[in-house]
Structure 1
Amino acid sequence: MLDLAKLAEQIPSISQHFKNEVTASRQRVERAEFLLKQTQAKQQELIEIHQNWHNRFIFSAGIPVEPLDTRITLSAAPYRHSVFATDGSQIAPSHHEIAYCYLINIGRIMLHYGQNLYPLLDSIPEVYYKPEDIYLSKQWGIKVEEWMGYRRTVLEAQLLSEMACRWVKPPGAHYEPNLAMIDGSLIYWFFDSLPNEAKELILPPIQNAWEELRKANIPLMGYVSASRSNEAVNFLRLQACPHDTPNCVMNCGELMDEKTPCHVIHPLRDAALWGYLLEPGQRGPLWRSSLRILNLYEEAQWVYFCYVNVGTEIARIEVPAWVAEDTELFSQSLSLMLTQVSKGYGYPVALAEAHNQAVIRGGDRARFFALLEGQMLKAGLRNVGTSYKEARKRGSIA
């Protein structure tokens, strides 16, 4: 039980810390705005420096593909359009439960506007209990809980593609504007640490799902709320570098990243900077991510991003290359996204509903294991039940 009286003693110092941080953040933003103007004047030169020296950087910097002073007000979404979204949740395996298994639940959402059509709001559960499902990842030193998360990512992509492509007419036919959304980034960091055998089971299915969306001309978008990325801000560090050549390994290899002379606005995030530059309904310049992990992606699936003031926050919006390179499709996708945020009162309604369909609450977990217990007893199994430890933790004598 949380002792609120003892906790209250710590609150004043916490609030003072955040008050000081707000002041410091504003000072960093002012320095970043000045640095941004300098960078804008040498943008093309700095892009060439990035291309020549990026393999010697000790940080990842996005590459601007539009002028840094780009400010575009997004237009309203077409009256008739459709939006697709998926999100996932899971029940992790536990040796203290009735059976050692795990469950992944994927929420599916299909919303139609101006078309007099019923929406789709449901979820697809999948239980994994076979030895190859449970113990496969251990040969690579990957915990079952981690592997479950990777499988969930695959299912989210596959079910999103399957749902959207079944609905949308074949390429070349007339169809209403549409958008496929996922909650979070399109850049899956965990790929970098996976052994090749594990990558072959995770990455190709995701890429195949994305390719099906491309063939059907259904734009894919990742919506990143409360982004902590600093890829765009890191590009400004090229202008701040005091050395003749930006060879970070040679010039600053012995320094911690935050102690380097180019890191004059540390720890400013992209969203904080663009929060002072964008008006509600505006987007900033488009960038191409240069994160090393994207070398595993197909070229058409390289990730581009921009920041949008959606009114309630500065959201990082990510799309694959084939969407970013189609100006009309990209603009249309942003318009649909902004309309979703408006309908969701600050967060895309399709993503919020996908989460609500996917989430597994305490009662759902109890009913799942009760159903499993009943079936195991019917099958003639005995001594079925949770461990004494788990049973004891669910009650208290205090």
Structure 2
Amino acid sequence: MLDLAKLAKQIPGISQHFQREMTASRQRLERAQILIRQTHAKQQDLIELHEQWHDRLIFSTATPIEPLNTRITITPAPYRHSVFATDGSQISPSHHEIAYCYLINIGRVMIHYGQNLHPLLDSVPEIYYKPEDLYVAKQWGIRIEEWMGYWRSVLEAQLLAEMACGWVNPPGPHFEPNLALVDGSLIYWFIETLPQEARDRILPPIQDAWEQLYQAKIPLMGYISASRSLEAINFFRLNACPHTIPNCVVHCSELSEDQTPCQVVSPLRDVTLWGYLLEPGQRGPLWRSHSRILNSYDEKQWVYFCYVNVGTEIARVEMPAWVAQDSTQLDQALSLMLAQVNKGYGYPVALAEAHNQAVVRSGDRARFFALLEQQMLKAGLRNVGTSYKETRKRGSIA
């Protein structure tokens, strides 16, 4: 039980800390606005400098595809359109439960606007209990809970493509404007740390799903709320570098990250800066990410992004190259995305509903294991039940 009386004594210190941080943040914003104007004046030169020396940088930076002063008002969404979304959750395995297995549940949502059609809101559960499922990641030193998250990303992509392409392609109806949405980044950062054999289990199925969307001309976007990215801010560090050549390996290898001379606005984040530059309903310039893992992506699947003031926050919106390089498709997809945020009162309604369909609540978990226990007893198994530890934790005599 939380002792609120003891906790209350610590609150004033927290308030004072955040007050100091707000003052420091305003100062960083002022420096960043000066820096962005300086960077805009020699934007192309810095892009060429990055292209030549990016392998010598100790930080990851994106490059702008449009002028840094780009401010584009997103057009209203067409009356008739469709939106597809998936999201997932899981039940982790436990040796204290009646059986050592895990479950991944993918929520699917398909909503049609202006077409007088029923939406699809359901979930697709899958149980994994075979040794090859439970212990496949052990050979690479990956914990099963981590592997579940990786595999969940695969299932989300596959079911999204299956649902969207199954509707848009024959025998589906007309080709109305549409959008496939995922919650979070399209850059699967975690793959970079995986052994090649494990990476080959995760990335190719996702790429195949994206290829299906590309062939069906369905734009794909990843919506990131409260992004902590520094990729855009880091581009300005090229301008702030005091050296003629931005060779971090030579000039700054002995310095810690926060001591490098180009770190003049740290720890300012992209969303904080664009929050002061964009009006509601506007997007900033397009950027191309240069994360190393994207070297494993097909060229048309390289990830681009922009920041959008959706009214309630600054969202980072990512899309594959095939969307970013088609201005008509990009504008239309952004209009559908913003309409989703407005309908969801600050967050895309399709993603919120996909999450609600996917989430496994405590009651669902209990019913799942009760059903499993029933089937195990029916199969003639004995001594089926949870461990004494788990049983004791579920109740209290205090």
AA matched with 1:55: D
Aligned residue for 1:68? Answer: 68
Residues in 1 aligned to 2:264 and 2:221: alpha-carbon distance in whole angstroms: 32
Residue pair 2:168, 2:174 contacting (<8 A) in 1 also: no
Structure 1 residue 351 corresponds to structure 2 residue 318: no
Residues in 1 aligned to 2:342 and 2:244: alpha-carbon distance in whole angstroms: 48
- SS at 1:186 equivalent: coil
Residues in 2 aligned to 1:11 and 1:29: alpha-carbon distance in whole angstroms: 27
Correspondence 1:91-240 to 2 at 5 A: 91-169=91-169, 175-240=175-240
AA matched with 2:294: L
Residues in 1 aligned to 2:283 and 2:88: alpha-carbon distance in whole angstroms: 28
> Relative to structure 1, is the Cα distance of residues 138 and 46 closer, same or farther in structure 2, using a 3 angstrom cutoff?
same
Aligned residue for 2:285? Answer: 285
Residues in 1 aligned to 2:168 and 2:326: alpha-carbon distance in whole angstroms: 19
Aligned residue for 1:301? Answer: 301
Structure 1: stretches of 5+ with no match in the other structure = none
Aligned residue for 1:332? Answer: 332
- SS at 1:58 equivalent: coil
AA matched with 2:267: P
- SS at 1:190 equivalent: helix
Shift of 1:216: 0.1
Residues in 1 aligned to 2:155 and 2:335: alpha-carbon distance in whole angstroms: 27
Aligned residue for 1:7? Answer: 7
Structure 1 residue 311 corresponds to structure 2 residue 311: yes
- SS at 1:70 equivalent: coil
Residue pair 2:219, 2:323 contacting (<8 A) in 1 also: yes
Shift of 1:170: 5.5
Shift of 1:391: 0.7
Shift of 1:197: 1.1
Residues in 2 aligned to 1:236 and 1:197: alpha-carbon distance in whole angstroms: 37
TM-score by length of 2: 0.99
Residue pair 1:63, 1:235 contacting (<8 A) in 2 also: yes
AA matched with 2:396: S
Residues in 2 aligned to 1:174 and 1:181: alpha-carbon distance in whole angstroms: 20
Q: Which moved more, 1:224-233 or 1:198-207?
A: 198-207
- SS at 2:96 equivalent: coil
AA matched with 1:232: A
AA matched with 1:389: K
Structure 1 residue 24 corresponds to structure 2 residue 24: yes
Aligned residue for 1:269? Answer: 269
AA matched with 1:287: W
Residues in 2 aligned to 1:16 and 1:81: alpha-carbon distance in whole angstroms: 49
Structure 2: stretches of 5+ with no match in the other structure = none
- SS at 1:90 equivalent: strand
Residue pair 1:170, 1:216 contacting (<8 A) in 2 also: no
- SS at 1:96 equivalent: coil
Shift of 1:125: 0.3
AA matched with 2:345: Y
TM-score by length of 1: 0.99
- SS at 1:380 equivalent: coil
Aligned residue for 2:55? Answer: 55
- SS at 2:232 equivalent: helix
Residue by residue over 1:94-144, the C-alpha shift from the partner in whole angstroms, topping out at 9 and shown as x without a partner, is 001010000000000000000000000000000000000001110111111
AA matched with 1:105: N
Residue pair 2:107, 2:355 contacting (<8 A) in 1 also: yes
Residues in 2 aligned to 1:361 and 1:338: alpha-carbon distance in whole angstroms: 29
Residue by residue over 1:52-96, the C-alpha shift from the partner in whole angstroms, topping out at 9 and shown as x without a partner, is 000000001101000000000000000000000000000000001
- SS at 1:367 equivalent: helix
- SS at 2:115 equivalent: coil
Residues in 1 aligned to 2:45 and 2:158: alpha-carbon distance in whole angstroms: 41
Q: Which moved more, 1:295-304 or 1:19-28?
A: 19-28
Count of residue pairs the alignment pairs up = 397
Shift of 1:169: 2.7
Residue pair 1:82, 1:178 contacting (<8 A) in 2 also: yes
Residues in 2 aligned to 1:353 and 1:5: alpha-carbon distance in whole angstroms: 38
AA matched with 2:269: R
AA matched with 2:134: I
Residues in 1 aligned to 2:230 and 2:200: alpha-carbon distance in whole angstroms: 30
Residues in 2 aligned to 1:270 and 1:170: alpha-carbon distance in whole angstroms: 42
AA matched with 1:262: C
- SS at 1:48 equivalent: helix
AA matched with 2:244: D
Residues in 1 aligned to 2:185 and 2:9: alpha-carbon distance in whole angstroms: 38
